[in-house]
Amino acid sequence: MPHELPPDPSPILDLIEAFRTSKIMFAAIGLGVFDRLEKAPATVEALARDLGMNRDALERLLNACAGLGLLARTDSNYVNTPAAAAYLCRQSPRRLTGYINYSNTILWELWAHLEDAVREGTHRWKQAFGQEGPIFSALFRTEEDKREFLLGMHGFGLISSPVVVAAFDLSRFRRLVDLGGATGHLAVAACLHYPSLRAAVFDLPGVVPMAREQVQASTVAGRVEVLAGDFFQDPLPEADLYALGRIVHDWSEDKIAALLRKIHERLPPGGAVLVAEKLLTDDKTGPRWAVLQSVNMLLCTEGKERTVAEYTALLQAAGFRHIEARRTNSPLDVVLAVKDGK
């Protein structure tokens, strides 16, 4: 009888070391490796001296970063790869460092309590940090915390927003209001893509200065307003198209249902809402980004990722009748729901 080969252990072995690869990147950012190398390539001796690190330990970290494609070796010097220069350096306009540091200092602690989150079905803010939340008060404990987190999300937005606004033909709409629009990346991307569109970013007062800074730096600043408000509590600005980018997955069904009804009531006939989230497959086992993010939502918010059918049900309950979804190759997919015309 032929000997039966065991199953391929690679998926298990890869997962055993997965957290190590994340932590290597987190630590290298926190220790200032990429920022120092962006000034000039350097040897391990020079880096250890400049950063105040143990030479042997730092060399191990640098070599691991090189093995992960974050650094390259040229003779005895280390140098940032193009991806590291774009996304892992604090001086880059496309940096993701704010979100990466948030992952290291906050999400890392929350994920340590995943077993309890699954047992109880609630986020872990109190267990990890001694507070109930809400999430954004924890994120914005200092002005620097707030700025870095928002710029990290801005980096994500620069990747996804141009794809989101092009997923459907939105040229018939005249005014877009991005609810919870943060730094305005989606509003700017929409105005760049649609020359006749005007837009507004509507977010909490504490976010407004950052939004104005980023909008003013764009070439469409004259067509993008920045307005302060709470979309749960305050009247919504006038629009024939509202956007909810990475908003719906933060909240419970009850809160989202109320917000969607509020949007539907405020829209004129033929107006629409654009929902940008990563869509789960119908059986909820993929794609990888979405299933991992849904667990992340369990740990740090009231919400979750959803399927097209689940978004359709929420939107129909709010009064929308014409609903279509598009999957993209970016971090976000798109659902467009249109209010009945006259």
Is 249 annotated as catalytic? yes
Please state whether the peptide bond connecting residue 134 to the residue before it is cis, i.e. omega within 30 degrees of 0: yes
Strands 333-338 and 272-277, sheet pairing:
antiparallel
Query: Which residue do the tokens 């943060």 mark?
Result: 182
Strand partners, 241: 176, 272
> Strand, helix or coil at 32?
coil
Which residue stretches of the chain are H helix?
Answer: 10-16, 18-30, 33-39, 44-51, 55-67, 82-87, 97-102, 108-111, 114-120, 125-129, 135-139, 143-166, 185-193, 208-216, 253-266, 288-300, 308-317
Of 256, 263, 275, 267, the C-alpha closest to 323 is: 275
Active-site entry in 113, 123, 249, 264: 249
Integer Cα distance of 184 and 212 in angstroms: 8
Integer Cα distance of 179 and 152 in angstroms: 18
- Dihedrals φ, ψ of 60, to 5°? -60, -45
- Catalytic center residues: 249
